[in-house]
Structure 1
């Protein structure tokens, strides 16, 4: 999965800019590697006398010193900005894939967890690409160059110094394996907490109504404790690793200095060479420490890259736009079976819905009324049996084609964060004219509501629709569904939150909008049921109990009469 993310990064990387930054980093680091040679020679009296007597040479040395660090800073900036731009494209790429992912796949994830992957996980990737990777490149170059010059001064002491490498690897590798697991658990925990918080604050009114503050604080406290416990393990192992590596490095440096001091005492090494050797050893300390810390960040990066790439493997909806002729809008369902996981919802459901007719769907809770809508909208596609729309097999139509010809109004009054205009002109409604917009608002008795708002139709609302009554939100949802003409309408009891007067107005408008169109309504109101052309009665096991006109069902369907009596009692 990490390799897949790297392939994406390379694909989106500004390669000329990155190569320029990398070349500059090579130049800047190479200049930096030469600095200890220059500083070591300052202990040579002859060399020191020569440069002090020649101002131009001294100025060149100062310029050399400044250039080394300016070039390195420029290279880090170029490489870092390349990584940032590539990450920006990856975020858009992954978000685009998420939007195209099937509802059935997305149902297995919490919304907050998906949000966490695109925000928290991406911030870790950003830090890795813009900071960790450039520093790793520079540090390896510094270490390689330093080792080369150490060999030119004293091969024997350099070989002794290199014994630290296998020792460090024996510490780093097993600890990083453990850290990767902890980081994965930590990111999963962050996603779960994010999801729970967002869900609870969307339903804050219900929570407060039931005085759930204490239980919520207690449950979230447990989640925070688990997250903190996991993070303590990360800090503990990281601290242990860094401390052990730093102490080993310091011990090796002391050992080398003792050996080098002996060389000087025996006259086999000059003080200038000793100074240069020590400077190169010192120059290697920070890069090795940085690489050690980077190993921890690599573990974290591997963990989040797995989570990000997992999203890209989810099954996507088919978005082909093949043209097809829809001769009629009759819906034929034959022997349809469907289950959520192992829970059977529809069992051998068969019904023929005539084109251009209004069919009310009634039945007990759990009979599969909403599931029929979900299948027709292709939110779920792993059903058995046959579903045809206008003699076209549903499985042969792409979700994009189906959703273009069907208008669906769910039971919940969902409005997005933004203005009322943005909510109404959302998605496939984006090209609707102002005249059509005003006509629909007028028909649904919403013009007066809009005029009373401070900024009219451009008034901003929250994702919970605060500032609007449930009835107003419901009417705006209906308006959004009818802005564009569709051959088929799926309505999930869309007048449930309206008073009787407003319901009468809205029902007449809906009848006008859907005249001659195929319309399915999940109905819980007597008026809606009686006025339908046909009524589909479902059993509790998700099969068809009966299908016919109101008067016909009154005479022959005991289940239908029982359902009506319950509605009358509820009224």
Structure 2
């Protein structure tokens, strides 16, 4: 029990810290507090004037001043309440907007290793669902918190002034309310935490299935995914019912306690009016003030329930915000000199859940030359590219540009000099033009875009599309063929004009005619640039200045095509195998 209480206290501190991170506009917060004060004070004045009005009517001594003051109090309360509610809602929306902005910017700064470990849907759930829980707390409950607290405090003071024995009798219900809310609150916290976890799992499954729907249908896996989805939906249903059971017990109990207190007060107050200890107007005012306490207390009870739900969401959001980001090192301002060679020095790397993928790899990539990396699948070629892009940090050894380790450069500055064309190039939903221009930090003219497409031999098929460069490519570029997506990716690299090129099977999805054309375009592009090529088809790299053979994470050969053909047994086998396959075709 103590550990649960400590956990709630820790999460409350985290929640408060999280809200402070959203940089609430202080001036607007002061305005909101002021309006809430005016609304609460006007609300406290209304029962007092009502008391006077009832007493005046009881003695048939009509006074217009009391009636006018009562109307004015109603108007002030209504106007202040309207503005207070709007500005508080605005404040709540701004807090959640800033929180989502924090999460969005944090997500973009997270390292690739984070996304390797987390499902896409879970990350989406954190930004959408968890922030929605916090938004509900702020806009639906915290909106009325200030005025509720002021109303309760003011009403209690006035009640003690009117009749302290009845006020003490009313407060006898507080221990009962506390005994109800405390265990229910702990239960709600645990249920809400699990419910958000299950929501994240379902969002993850939904994202995965929708993204890979072609795979699902190609392997007739609809029935499997139907069962998976129904299982997650059933889990959400069960936890939703658990939450509903707690709420179903908590709210009626609270209402029962409040109604019991009201009945006792009315009965006891009637007796005091009969004895002359209390006037009829004072009893009416007492009951009205009692409602001004009971209504906010019900709101506070709902706030308490919503707060417990927000604690679990806060815990998960904090984990993202506290996660280590990619190291930028912007303060060093070192300039990247692409005319220097890239030195791979005793480089080793292992993913968290695997053995070493690269083992003591050493070689030099000359500046302005073409270096090809070949070898069997699983040898570590793509992992080496990921380390060059600084997606991961080496386990041992280092990569240097000249004499400077590449992690000493600002990450953005380093990547800005690299053009990376992957083996599989999914495009972003948008037009052909937007995909070619993606990542450019300046305005790009139509002539530049068309030139890049022409050099990548993409202009011909682009002109045949319905809207040309303004044709929508669909999510992940599904409306285009693999070869067309590849050529758009190459056009993007050409447009960026990088000093270092990394081509991971850049021509793998092209037919023989397109491959020849793109090879010529790439040869032109590679002139004067440091180029690193991964290739399984050795015919595409025979003219490389040097070829590195990477086998089971180790460099087992280095040299030109002719040198390796004479001295390296595996390279000889690869060449003979591909020559045989080509002859059979």
**Alignment deviations for residues 126-180 of structure 1 (CA, whole Å, 9 cap, x no partner):** 2222231121212111111221121112212211211222322222223222222
2: CA distance, partners of 1:378 / 1:218: 40
Structural mapping, 1:228-247, within 5 Å: 228-247=237-256
Conserved? CA contact 1:355–1:517, under 8 Å? yes
2: CA distance, partners of 1:4 / 1:382: 34
DSSP 3-state at the match of 2:362 = strand
Cα offset for 1:125? 2.0
Cα offset for 1:23? 0.7
**Alignment deviations for residues 448-471 of structure 1 (CA, whole Å, 9 cap, x no partner):** 222222322122222221321111
Of residues 335, 346, 350 in structure 1, which corresponds to 2:346? 335
Structure 1 residues 48 and 82, CA gap change in structure 2 (3 angstroms): farther
Conserved? CA contact 1:524–1:567, under 8 Å? no
Conserved? CA contact 1:338–1:383, under 8 Å? yes
Conserved? CA contact 2:99–2:131, under 8 Å? no
Of residues 299, 306, 310 in structure 1, which corresponds to 2:308? 299
The TM-score normalised by the length of structure 1 is: 0.94
Structure 1 residues 570 and 247, CA gap change in structure 2 (3 angstroms): farther
Conserved? CA contact 1:357–1:533, under 8 Å? yes
2: CA distance, partners of 1:550 / 1:497: 24
Cα offset for 1:49? 3.8
Does residue 43 in structure 1 map to residue 46 in structure 2? no
Conserved? CA contact 1:32–1:69, under 8 Å? no
Of residues 217, 235, 255 in structure 2, which corresponds to 1:208? 217
Structure 2 residue aligned with 1:483: 495
Structure 1 residue aligned with 2:3: none
Structure 1 residues 196 and 329, CA gap change in structure 2 (3 angstroms): farther
Conserved? CA contact 1:436–1:483, under 8 Å? yes
Of residues 281, 286, 292 in structure 2, which corresponds to 1:272? 281
Cα offset for 1:560? 1.8
Structure 1 residues 429 and 260, CA gap change in structure 2 (3 angstroms): closer
Does residue 494 in structure 1 map to residue 506 in structure 2? yes
Structure 2 residue aligned with 1:84: 93
Does residue 75 in structure 1 map to residue 64 in structure 2? no
Conserved? CA contact 1:429–1:484, under 8 Å? no
Cα offset for 1:375? 0.4
Structure 1 residues 485 and 108, CA gap change in structure 2 (3 angstroms): same
Decide which moves more: 369-378 or 306-315.
306-315
Structure 2 residue aligned with 1:550: 561
1: CA distance, partners of 2:436 / 2:428: 10
Cα offset for 1:284? 2.1
Does residue 163 in structure 1 map to residue 172 in structure 2? yes
Of residues 31, 43, 49 in structure 2, which corresponds to 1:20? 31
Cα offset for 1:506? 0.4
Decide which moves more: 447-456 or 477-486.
447-456
Structure 1 residues 272 and 57, CA gap change in structure 2 (3 angstroms): closer
Cα offset for 1:250? 1.8
Cα offset for 1:386? 2.0
Structure 1 residue aligned with 2:571: 560
**Alignment deviations for residues 515-546 of structure 1 (CA, whole Å, 9 cap, x no partner):** 12221111111321323222211222x11111
Structure 2 residue aligned with 1:460: 472
The TM-score normalised by the length of structure 2 is: 0.92
Structure 1 residue aligned with 2:117: 108
DSSP 3-state at the match of 1:43 = helix
Does residue 199 in structure 1 map to residue 208 in structure 2? yes
Structure 2 residues without counterparts, runs of 5 or longer:
1-10
Structural mapping, 1:168-187, within 5 Å: 168-187=177-196
Does residue 537 in structure 1 map to residue 537 in structure 2? no
Does residue 140 in structure 1 map to residue 152 in structure 2? no
2: CA distance, partners of 1:134 / 1:342: 47
Structure 1 residues 255 and 273, CA gap change in structure 2 (3 angstroms): same
2: CA distance, partners of 1:523 / 1:500: 16
Conserved? CA contact 2:336–2:414, under 8 Å? no
1: CA distance, partners of 2:59 / 2:492: 83
Structural mapping, 1:128-527, within 5 Å: 128-319=137-328, 320=330, 322-324=333-335, 326=337, 328-343=339-354, 344-428=356-440, 430-527=442-539
DSSP 3-state at the match of 2:566 = helix
Aligned pairs, how many?
Answer: 568
1: CA distance, partners of 2:474 / 2:190: 38
DSSP 3-state at the match of 2:54 = coil
**Alignment deviations for residues 333-388 of structure 1 (CA, whole Å, 9 cap, x no partner):** 12111111141211111222222222222222221111100100000014211211
Decide which moves more: 270-279 or 339-348.
270-279
DSSP 3-state at the match of 1:460 = coil
Does residue 66 in structure 1 map to residue 75 in structure 2? yes
Structure 1 residues 484 and 45, CA gap change in structure 2 (3 angstroms): closer
DSSP 3-state at the match of 1:314 = coil
Structure 2 residue aligned with 1:34: 45
Decide which moves more: 114-123 or 317-326.
317-326
1: CA distance, partners of 2:335 / 2:287: 78
DSSP 3-state at the match of 2:548 = strand
**Alignment deviations for residues 262-305 of structure 1 (CA, whole Å, 9 cap, x no partner):** 32343322322222222222232221111111101111122212
Cα offset for 1:46? 4.8
1: CA distance, partners of 2:82 / 2:580: 78
Q: Aligned-residue CA RMSD in angstroms?
A: 2.2
Structure 1 residues without counterparts, runs of 5 or longer:
none
2: CA distance, partners of 1:120 / 1:342: 30
